[in-house]
Amino acid sequence: MVDALIETHALTKSYGNFGALNGLNLRVMPGEIYGLLGPNGAGKTTTLRITAGLIEPTTGSVLVSGFDATKDPLHSKAQTGYVGEVPILYESLTPKELLEFEGSVRGLAREPMNRRARQLAEAFEVVSAFDTPIATLSMGTKQKIAMITALLHQPSVLLLDEPLNSLDARSSRILKELLSLHVQRGGAVLFSTHVMEIAQRLCSRIGIIFGGKIVAEGNLDQLRARAGEKDATLEEVFMKLTNEASEVENIVRMLRESFFDVENR
């Protein structure tokens, strides 16, 4: 049996009395793009940050390519490329300096590293920004630099939190192609998004997280069957499985009544 590249076991994370994660279990296999969907505060970002080794779980464990993210963080982090919802970069550096630093820390050979960085920079059209301080760059360009940094060492696992934020249409398409190439060579992607259409088109499997645990997972047909909605869109399935469909209908009804009431005054 092929081993999962990402595997969480009964993962919990508490902040005081608030449980961000409550026994989360998931497995992401080689060749998979796994989309993590959930409402705000459901635990998506916490899951990604724990898997990336940025924060520790309260209980439970995460294995990345077989390495424990808490007990063996150096080997675990060597297998991952992480991009947060808001890119965290050394803004006093230029992108060129940042990538050279990243390559040095990861022990990458200079010539292949420079070649790969140049190829990715050309793909994302940021070569002209390579000698510009990161602090002065647009949010979209920072997102591209963060993505190049995550891909530079060719990790087996990509952890992406809303990766298409701030990207233009061309760069979004390039990123989607890169993710496809990544999993074709046996890597895995775990990413969160609020954009249902992207998840529906891009993901091999989708996990719906609600209340800090996975409440349903599978491809779209499997999720439709779980929700009892044969021809529903992913958005409709999501609303049903997170028990938000009736609440949204009530809110829309209230707004409609209020809107037309105001118009008729």
Domain boundary assignment for the chain: 6-79+155-263, 86-139
Listed in sequence order, the DSSP H helices in 152-212 are: 169-184, 196-202
Q: Is the pLDDT of residue 256 over 90?
A: no
d(CA 116, CA 120): 6
Q: Is the pLDDT of residue 109 over 90?
A: yes
Q: Is the dihedral of CA 64, 67, 68, 73 positive or negative?
A: negative
For all residues of the chain together, what is the average pLDDT?
A: 91
**What pLDDT, in 10s, does the model give residues 161-175?**
998 888 899 999 999
**What pLDDT, in 10s, does the model give residues 73-105?**
999 999 999 999 888 899 999 999 999 999 999
CA distances from 237 to 91, 161, 198 (A): 41, 22, 15
Name residue 264's amino acid.
N
The superfamily (CATH) of domain 6-79+155-263 is P-loop containing nucleotide triphosphate hydrolases (3.40.50.300)
Q: Is the pLDDT of residue 184 over 90?
A: yes
Contact 148, 120 (CB under 8 A): yes
Tokens 């990458």 locate to 108
Contact 35, 193 (CB under 8 A): yes
pLDDT at 98: 95
Which residues lie across from 61 on neighbouring strands?
9
Contact 158, 182 (CB under 8 A): yes
Q: Which pair of structure tokens corresponds to residue 233? A: 């869109």
Fill in the DSSP letter of residue 204. Answer: S
Full-model pTM: 0.90
pLDDT tier at 71, thresholds 50, 70, 90:
very high
CA distances from 17 to 22, 149, 161, 213 (A): 12, 36, 25, 17
pLDDT at 1: 52
